Amino acid sequence: MNSSPSSTLSTSANRDLFDQSALSDLAQRLVEAARRAGADAADAVAVRGVSQGVEVRDGRVEESERSEGDDVGLRVLVGQRQAVVSTNDVSGDAVTKLAERAVAMARVAPDDKYVGLADPALLARDFPDLDLLDPHVPTTAELERRALAAEAAALGVKGVTKSGGASASAGIGGMVLVTSTGFHGSYLRSSQGISATAISGEATSMERDYDFTSAPHGADLLSPETVGRSAGERTVARYNPRKVETCKVPVVFDPRVAGSLVGHLVGAINGASIARKTSFLKDKLGQQLFAKNIRIVDDPLRKRGLRSQTFDAEGVAVQRLALVDEGVLTTWLLDCATARELGLTTTGHAHRGVSSSPSPGPYNLHLEPGTPTPAELIADVKQGFYVTDLIGSGVNGVTGDYSRGASGFWIENGEITYPVSEVTIAGHLFEIFKSMQPANNLEFRYGINAPTVRIEGLTLGGR
């Protein structure tokens, strides 16, 4: 790993890292080779991934690693038949051989009347600068400093008995897409992160918790000290948890876990699930699922967003979209194939890797904030539960049944009191959506962001 005191865009190594011209040329050659081999249409993606990370424990570096590589994928269409191939070896005549193999595979693939490239009229033509690339690439020494500072801050919190480790990472990821219909687009995105885990207690009565920060730009990260201190304070607050009796109470979701509720909605409105009729929301488009003050937005064009980009994996222009507006479900998430199957137009939500065909998925999601503060949201709760961590994935996307293991804190007379662990929250997503009340404390820290959220009448499974 590079251990020089600074590592910036001015170095030749980073100029090479940020230069995607060779990947663009390769994708173009793949598409041309596919057409020569007999494909009616083709597109090629080239993906760049570079990452470095440092893990520390007890003031020492436990692991330091770096990985980098470029991979390419080619999708070809012969009539209504499709094949996808990928490789990271494009030496010699590999491009021609890859294209010929893809076309041969497509010719024996089953017919699929929904496959095809995007309508040229839908392709992106404007590529606004979303400020996704931090020109400063942190050195290994800088990552070590961040991780050690986070760990030291966690250990400095009274009541923390040992470190669960801390880490710092940085990376660059990018994609080039070229299609036989004339689209040529690319983007690069940097990513940086810091995390820390702390432990309180001893032997069989230990508790642990964590915190982390991530952003494309290092300047947008929380400080290592803030991350470590938060991890320590969260851990100490969890110490000596109690059990509670099974009951039905209001449940308040901390922002760190409230985004999961948005995630369940988005999974259920994925066009692939709708086309297969495996979603409990399959017949709910245009219906009121939430209170009128609820708005859920997907924004791929947010500057410095963790999942921002200007075009999707089929070259279609993306846009800021309210998935839920005034409580009404307004759209499915669609790529071209699922849109054709449903008789609709793609929403520009195609994602893909080098070895897969496109499928729908979200970008930067958020639940817009409400007006009450978190304190006001729980002020009238006589008895309730404040969730800080969720365990397991007991959500049935076909039926909408919801059941998750959880830990957090008991609410009594409008105040957060003692820690609670080993409980289960259960209900139905229809009821959860209907009673959702957001607070005013939205922050953009994750891929899915939500403020504190209150849900009425969930069943808490305890003793």
The answer for residues whose C-beta is within 8 angstroms of residue 160's C-beta and 6 or more apart is: 154, 198, 199, 200, 232, 235, 236
What distance in Å separates the CA atoms of residue 224 and residue 217, rounded to the nearest whole number? 14
Res 5: pLDDT? 34
Under 8 Å between Cβ of 298 and 367: no
pLDDT digit string (tens) for the chain, length 463 residues: 333 333 433 344 565 678 888 889 999 999 999 999 999 999 999 998 899 999 999 999 999 999 988 899 999 999 999 999 998 877 778 889 999 999 999 999 999 999 999 999 999 999 999 999 999 999 999 999 999 999 999 999 999 999 999 999 999 998 999 999 999 999 999 999 999 999 998 877 899 999 999 999 999 999 999 999 999 999 999 999 999 999 999 999 999 999 999 999 999 999 999 999 999 999 999 999 999 999 999 999 999 999 999 999 999 999 999 999 999 999 999 999 999 999 999 999 999 988 999 999 999 999 999 999 999 999 999 999 999 999 987 899 999 999 999 999 999 999 999 999 989 999 999 999 999 999 999 999 999 999 999 999 899 998 7
State the pLDDT at residue 14: 61
- pTM as predicted: 0.92
- Residue carrying structure tokens 């307004």: 330
CB atoms inside a 10 Å sphere around CB 230: 22
**C-alpha span between 87 and 72 (Å, rounded):** 6
How far is 174 from 311, CA to CA, in rounded Å? 12
- The CA–CA distances, whole Å, from 407 to 232, 254, 424, 429 equal 17, 11, 8, 20
Torsion angles phi and psi, residue 255, rounded to 5: -55, -30
